[in-house]
Amino acid sequence: MSDQQATSCWAMWRDYALYAPIGLATMVVEDLPQVAETTKVRVTNRLTVARIVGQYAVRTAGAYLTSRLDELAAERLAEDAAAAAGDAHGLEDDDVERTIPDETAAEAAVAMSESTAADAEPSIVESTPEGVEGTPLQVDDPAVTDVEQLALADYDSLAASQIVARLEALPGDELEAIRVYESTHRQRRTVIGKVQQLQSADG
C-alpha cells in the first residue's frame, strides 16, 4: 500500500471515529422531541385501549353478577315459598291429627261419664216387685205409672239424696207408693233401701 493510500484510509477512519458520533448525537438531539412525541402517542393509545377494555370487562362482569344475583334471589324466594307451603300443610296435618285424638278423648270422657252415672245408679232388678198386699205389681198400675200421685212433688227431677232426706216424714202408704214407683222406673237402690228400712222400722 502506498503512502497516499494509507493516508486516505487513515483520514476515513478518523472521520468515522470523530465525526460520526458527533453527527449521530446531533441527529438524536434533533429527532428526540419527535421520538418522544411518537412514544407518548403510542403509550397514550395503548392506555386508552386498555382503559376501554377494562371498562368493558367491568360492565360485562357487573351485568353477569347482577343477573346471577337476581337468579339466586329468585331461587331463594321460591325455596322460602315452598318451605312456607310445606309448613302450612304440616300444620294442617297436625291440626287434623290433634282433632282426632281430641274427639276420641271427648268420646272417651262421655263414655266414662255415662259409665260412672250407670255405676252410681242401681242395676235393673229382674225380679218382679210386689204390691202392697204381696201380689205381683203390674207396670200399668196407676200407683206405679202416675208420678203425680206421689207425695213428693217433681219426683222425677229430684236426686236420690233429696228423696232420701224427705222419706222419714212420709206415712207408710206413701212410702210404699214411692217404693213401687221407684222399683219399676229408675230403680235407685238408695231410695228403695231407705224406704224398706223405714218400712221395717214401722213394722
Contact 167, 194 (CB under 8 A): yes
Enumerate the β-bridge partners of residue 136: 130
Contact 183, 137 (CB under 8 A): yes
pLDDT given for residue 121 in this prediction: 46
Neighbours of 132 (CB within 10 A): 13
CA distance 181 to 147: 8
CA distance 180 to 188: 11
- What does the mean pLDDT of the chain come to? 75
Angle between helices 160-167 and 172-184 (to 10 degrees): 160
Q: Where are the domains of the chain?
A: 1-87, 142-202
pLDDT in tens, 92-138: 555 545 544 555 555 656 556 554 544 444 443 333 344 433 333 44
Q: How confident is the model at residue 149 (pLDDT cuts 50, 70, 90)?
A: confident
Summarize the confidence of residues 52-58 as an average pLDDT.
Answer: 89
pTM here? 0.32
Residue with cell 207396670: 139
Q: Judge whether residue 65 has pLDDT over 60.
A: yes
**Amino acid at the residue 76:** R
pLDDT in tens, 159-187: 999 999 999 989 989 999 999 999 999 99
Output DSSP code: residue 162.
H
Enumerate the β-bridge partners of residue 130: 136
Q: Judge whether residue 142 has pLDDT over 60.
A: no
Summarize the confidence of residues 59-65 as an average pLDDT.
Answer: 88
pLDDT in tens, 5-54: 778 887 788 777 877 788 788 877 878 888 788 888 989 998 899 989 88
CA distance 132 to 198: 15
pLDDT given for residue 31 in this prediction: 80
The greatest distance separating any two alpha carbons of the chain, rounded to the nearest whole angstrom, comes to 192
End-to-end CA distance of the chain: 189
